[in-house]
Structure 1
């Protein structure tokens, strides 16, 4: 449908937004739309080794209090960690703090969870709806310092398209 084989180090996020809107069309399904999103990103951005979602689920109780975890969702790349507690690693930190986390060198990030030892940098963006964290978009790269402010802005805008087009 779209030529995503020529990934660039400076992606055209406006064009990716148009492609994403077209790909999602009238589909509202969570699994379908997050799978399509993962594939588009993985094949459109250069120097990635993982792109996908972790979705929020109830976790085990801690001291009688329910906790939240991130459960592996649709992705592109090698086998990944299955469950991540809120507050743990880059994904759990982004979820707990409800903010995008860009890590230039994951080896310098306290508590980093190494699902793939080839990963060197990471960006994690929470999916927020009415103040609730529905999950996170997690993207890893084998390059140090792979993700720029432009990437953060572009990916956040693409997630807005996904969120508007998807039933969570």
Structure 2
């Protein structure tokens, strides 16, 4: 399924008044994982600015030990500090990478802003080297814009 076809489904999920916020986030993770072949782990992390840590939220994929990540550590921790998208074509080439599984070959992390504040991020791992394009970035920015409405 193409990104344009997924956009109305994202809106439908985020505006469903019959589900909780976490149920909506989990449904988004499942939608992305089930419809984009190279999205092998899809999840959200949320920031605690007091402790400068990220905390794992809803996700779909292999279980992870990385439920709390300090700002600055790994790709997610770097995005918490930089407030910028981070695309890693090959995780083996990254010095500050937290290995979740030997099957992960690449990663994309897009920050989630609410009222100009980075409250978290969507994190996607792939078992393929260098699958993420600018189209992935734009689509995931759209996803996060819709998700942000759940927090404002």
Same fold (TM over 0.5): yes
Matched, 1:22 2:7: no
Q: Which of the pair has more CA radius of gyration?
A: 1
Which residue of 1 is the match for residue 52 of structure 2? 68
Deviation at 1:67, TM superposition (A): 3.3
Q: What's the CA shift for 1:30?
A: 2.8
For 1:37-77, what per-residue CA distance to the aligned partner results, in whole angstroms no more than 9, with x for missing partners? 1111111111232111111125xxxxxxx431111110010
Paired residues of 1:29 and 1:167 also in contact (CA < 8 A):
no
Give the corresponding residue for 2:138: 153
Q: Deviation digits for residues 88-141 of structure 1, max 9, x if unmatched?
A: 100111111001100000111111000112101000011112232211100000
Determine the C-alpha separation between the residues in 1 that align with 2:131 and 2:90. Answer: 9
Q: Which runs of 4+ in 1 moved over 4 A?
A: none
Report the TM-score when normalising by structure 2.
Answer: 0.91
Residues 1-168 of structure 1 correspond to what in structure 2 (within 5 A)?
Answer: 11-27=1-17, 29-58=20-49, 66-80=50-64, 81-164=66-149, 166-167=150-151
What is the total number of aligned residue pairs between the two structures? Answer: 150
Which runs of no fewer than 5 residues in structure 2 stay unpaired?
none
Q: What's the Cα RMSD here? A: 1.6
